[in-house]
Amino acid sequence: MGSFITTLGLIINAMLIATPPLLLAALGSCFSERSGVVNIGIEGMMTIGAFTGAVVAYFSGNGWFGFLCGGLAGAAFGVLHAVVCISFNADQTIAGTAINFIGPGLAVFLCKAMFENSSDSPALDTASKLPRMFPNAFKAGSFGYNVISTYPAAYLSILLVAFIWFIFYKTKFGMHLRACGEHPEACETLGINVYKVRYTCVILSGFLAGLGGAFVTLSTVSQFRPSVIVGQGFIAIAAVIFGKFKPQGALVGCLIFGFCNGIKSILSQSNVVSPNLISMIPYVVTLLALILFVGSSRVPAANGKPYIKSK
């Protein structure tokens, strides 16, 4: 029984580490997609957030400040995506693809310029990372330590789902947001500023994606590396599709992918299965989710369609 509890604690711990970056990015994607702007640049926004968070925490010694700056870096890329797609009516898929090239490229360029031509940032010491909750309350390796003495940002990201659900379905802004993703022309006749709503949502999507990237470098990896995000942005988008573009649905999708990472962590210690096959688990689950559920997901009617204000 004790072995089962310990194993369960390890799986939950892996979920609480793997789920938050996916969930933060997925919630950001919900904002953008529901307002009518496709944002597949989540990966690039996460990467620039991961770099900024690690570098700011390294120089400031404050993990929370690095976390916030990582979000702001993602928001800056959200502004770029919004200007290109909303103001200039560029193809949203191509613009997002460009963000996915620009983000990692700029991060590596700046990293080499700042750290003696190294594509990796210096490793963070414990004091510069995001703090753990109740670090001395439980014995290391125990169930309580694995489940409770984790990063508070992990639980905050889950609480954020309820907050965003409330915004989406219980506020005037949420009603405007969803309406702009369905019938922007009708919104205009009602006096709703479609451009303003979409700008706000795309910038928020970048901010949340940047927070997701910063969580990775300020908790598990402890430094920026070019491969630090490794497809997590695309997994987040898959979770949004799986969850039918709803924050509560995205949570379920991210928990499933986080659980897969937990299973991966346990199997990687067994030496029974090839590590290469184990590493494929989250991506195989992503493909299966898209195959099985993408057909049942209703995309907002105006999603991906440029909106030109009538004169």
Largest distance between two CA atoms of the chain: 70
Nearest alpha-carbon partner for 265 in 1, 4, 14 = 14
Q: Which residues contact 115 (CB under 8 A, 6 or more apart)?
A: 121, 122
Q: Which residues contact 60 (CB under 8 A, 6 or more apart)?
A: 66, 128
pLDDT tens, position by position, 172-228: 999 999 999 999 999 989 999 999 999 999 999 999 999 999 999 999 889 999 999
Question: Where along the chain do its domains lie?
Answer: 2-130+146-296
> Mean pLDDT in the chain?
90
> How much is the pLDDT for 283?
78
Q: Which residues contact 191 (CB under 8 A, 6 or more apart)?
A: none
pLDDT tens, position by position, 154-175: 899 999 999 999 999 999 999 9
- 3-state DSSP call for residue 226? coil
Q: Kindly provide the b/e burial profile for residues 268-290, where b requires at least 16 CB atoms within 10 angstroms of the residue's own CB.
A: eeeeeeeeeebeebbbebbeebe
pLDDT beyond 60 at 137: yes
pLDDT tens, position by position, 256-266: 888 887 777 77
- The answer to whether 224 and 248 have CB atoms below 8 angstroms apart is no
Nearest alpha-carbon partner for 149 in 159, 136, 160 = 136
d(CA 225, CA 206): 20
pLDDT tens, position by position, 48-77: 999 999 999 999 999 999 999 999 999 999
Nearest alpha-carbon partner for 277 in 256, 253, 290, 260 = 260
Helix 232-242 to helix 194-215 angle (10° resolution) is 130
d(CA 139, CA 186): 59
- Ramachandran bin of 173, using left for φ above 0, alpha for ψ from -120 to 50, beta for the remaining angles: alpha
Q: What is the CATH number of domain 2-130+146-296?
A: 1.10.3470
Point out the least confidently predicted range of 12-26, 81-95, 288-302.
288-302
> How much is the pLDDT for 297?
66
Decide which of 140 and 158 is more confident: 158
Residues 123-149 have a mean pLDDT of 85
- The answer to whether 38 and 304 have CB atoms below 8 angstroms apart is yes
pLDDT beyond 80 at 270: no
